[in-house]
């Protein structure tokens, strides 16, 4: 279960292991949304810190697994990809109740983490249930959504149209130190230095660095789509 390689049946896109994992993540999202408003203040505090602790433990467990197998490397093991960074920020969000951080994670989570869940890169490594890599993949992406949903259910947080320029500015500012890290380490965090080695949508967006521009435009469109249900709900409220 914790070995470096996996010798069982490899992970396949939209296999039963994929569908069941998606259902499990979605069910926890639903439970957090339904249960949180019904909890007492003490109960909400317990759930809040449980999700925050889980997010932090998830990051530490992934780091320790890499170090245990001697595969940790500064070029690809720092929590600087969109989702690995989001897991740490989810813990900080729950600890600080920072609304600006909520805005960022709402769009990073529902526009980014959900894309990873629908098209997981587990198919590249083949790790499947019940291997540690398989489990850590689903829980690390899921906890981002659970933290955001908790903030919405417990504190009434909502993104607004004014969130878009703030999130766009914050995201591009974050890309500066990440790009510098790539230059110093030879890494490819957030795929800013080059396209990934496996086939992705980036392959049809032109060469480096020009694919970064359409990638941001597509990201903006997806952010608008994931915001529309909230916009419609808030518009219809009395």
> pLDDT tens digits for 206-234?
888 888 888 889 989 999 999 999 988 88
Does pLDDT of 203 surpass 80? no
In a domain, 3, yes or no: no
Give the domain extent around 89. Answer: 16-236
What does the alpha-carbon distance between residue 87 and residue 142 come to, in Å, rounded to a whole number?
Answer: 9
Please report the pLDDT score of residue 238 as a whole number: 67
Residue 43: inside a domain: yes
The pLDDT assigned to 207 comes to 85
Tell me the pLDDT of the chain averaged across its residues: 93
Using a pLDDT cut of 70, give the percent of the chain over it.
Answer: 98
Q: Are 16 and 119 in contact (CB under 8 A)?
A: no
Work out the average pLDDT over 45-65. 97
Task: State how far Cα 110 lies from the chain centre.
Answer: 8
Q: What's residue 199's pLDDT?
A: 65
- Answer whether residue 190 is part of any domain: yes
The model's confidence at residue 198, banded by pLDDT at 50, 70 and 90, is low
SS3 74: coil
Residue 200 has pLDDT above 80, yes or no: no
CA distance 142 to 32: 12
Cα separation, 121 vs 57, whole angstroms: 22
Q: Are 140 and 20 in contact (CB under 8 A)?
A: no
Residue 7 lies in a domain: no
Q: Write down the pLDDT at residue 133.
A: 95
In a domain, 155, yes or no: yes
As a whole number, mean pLDDT of residues 51-55 equals 98
Question: What percent of the chain shows pLDDT beyond 90?
Answer: 76
Task: Answer whether residue 11 is part of any domain.
Answer: no
pLDDT of residue 6: 87
Tokens 């951080």 — which residue? 101
Per the structure, how many domains does the chain have? 1
Does residue 173 contact residue 107 with C-beta atoms inside 8 Å?
A: no
Question: What pLDDT is recorded for position 72?
Answer: 96
pLDDT band (50, 70, 90) for residue 162? very high
Distance CA 126, CA 139 (A): 17
Which whole number is the average pLDDT over 149-170?
A: 95
Strand ranges inside 20-156, DSSP E:
none
pLDDT, position 163: 95
Task: Answer whether residue 109 is part of any domain.
Answer: yes
Sign, CA dihedral 192-96-107-17, equals positive
């Amino acid at each position: 279960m914790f070995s470096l390689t996996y010798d069982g049946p490899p992970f396949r896109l939209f296999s039963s292991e994929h569908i069941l994992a998606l259902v499990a993540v979605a069910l926890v999202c639903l439970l957090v949304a339904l249960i949180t408003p019904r909890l007492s203040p003490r109960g909400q505090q317990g759930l809040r810190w449980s999700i925050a602790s889980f997010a932090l433990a998830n990051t530490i467990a992934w780091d320790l697994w890499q170090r245990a197998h001697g595969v940790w490397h500064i070029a690809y093991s720092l929590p600087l990809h969109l989702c690995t960074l989001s897991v740490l920020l989810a813990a900080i969000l729950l600890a600080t109740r920072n609304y600006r951080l909520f805005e960022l994670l709402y769009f990073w989570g529902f526009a980014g983490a959900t894309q990873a869940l629908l098209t997981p890169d587990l198919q590249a490594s083949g790790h499947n249930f019940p291997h540690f890599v398989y489990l850590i993949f689903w829980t690390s992406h899921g906890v981002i959504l659970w933290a955001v949903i908790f903030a919405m259910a417990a504190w009434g947080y909502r993104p607004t149209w004014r969130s878009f320029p703030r999130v766009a500015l914050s995201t591009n500012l974050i890309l500066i130190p990440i790009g510098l890290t790539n230059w110093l380490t030879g890494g490819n965090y957030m795929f800013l230095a080059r396209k990934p080695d496996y086939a992705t949508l980036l392959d049809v967006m032109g060469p480096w660095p020009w694919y970064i521009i359409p990638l941001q435009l597509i990201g903006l469109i997806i952010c608008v789509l994931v915001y529309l249900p909230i916009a419609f709900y808030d518009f219809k409220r009395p």
